[in-house]
Amino acid sequence: MRYVIGMTGASGAVMTARLLEQLRSHEVHLLMTRAARILADHELDDSRVLRATHQYSAEDDLDAPIASSSYLWDAMVIVPCSVKTLAAVAHSYASNLVVRAADIALRTRRPLILVVRETPLSLPTIENMRVASLAGATILPPSMAYYFEPESVDDVTDFFVGKIMDLLGLPHALYRRWSSPAESGSVRLEQT
């Protein structure tokens, strides 16, 4: 399988790095904006891990093969997806390679997952999520769940990346899936 991973200027480089680890047996083309590189240098111990993919392109590399709809790939994930990139995707403003590839995904009906990393959300951002969703993108904010009892930031990151893997249809063991208390044999009672 061939995947396109876009990384833009929002906090969350660790999610990108962890997703790339999970996809290492697949062909991956990583697209990074300048702001993403700055954040990766700040958030990761070694941001070079991000560029250790099958192919790497900067945001202004508009002659990269990925800039053409004739270059075939299976799915695209923008993680993290800044609200600026979300707005550009929602309105087909292909000012860089990340948004150009996302526009190709929408035009050719390939899966596009936007991991929008912002909180709280403004009304324009919510509207851009709606427009992108109507165009065919899947909006996947990294929203935390607690049922699997995370014990570390790594557990939380794995949960988010596991949700991406689920949408890509790829097997993983990144988090414990939900089972009802009756199925798991443990019932917790809350004190009142």
DSSP string of 157-169, one letter each residue: HHHHHHHHHHHHT
Amino acid letter for position 119: T
Asked whether the beta carbons of 54 and 77 are under 8 A apart, the reply is no
Q: Residue 20 pLDDT more than 90?
A: yes
Q: Residue 184 pLDDT more than 60?
A: no
Over residues 59-98, the pLDDT tens digits come to 999 899 999 999 999 999 999 999 999 999 999 999 999 9
Residues 6+ apart with CB under 8 A from 122: 83
Amino acid letter for position 46: D
Six token digits for residue 121: 């959300």
User: Does the pTM exceed 0.85?
Assistant: yes
Residue 183 is predicted with a pLDDT of 59
Banded model confidence at residue 189, pLDDT cuts 50, 70, 90: very low
Region of residue 149 (left: phi > 0; alpha: psi -120 to 50; beta: else): left
Beta strands in 74-128 (DSSP E): 75-81, 112-116
Query: Tokens 């790594």 appear where?
Result: 154
Q: Which CATH superfamily is domain 2-184 in?
A: Flavin prenyltransferase-like (3.40.50.1950)
Six token digits for residue 101: 């590839």
Q: For the residues 119-128, what does the mean pLDDT come to?
A: 97
Q: What percent of the chain has pLDDT over 90?
A: 82
Q: What is the dihedral of CA 33, 67, 77, 45, to 10 degrees?
A: -30
Q: For the residues 178-187, what does the mean pLDDT come to?
A: 63
Residue 178 is predicted with a pLDDT of 83
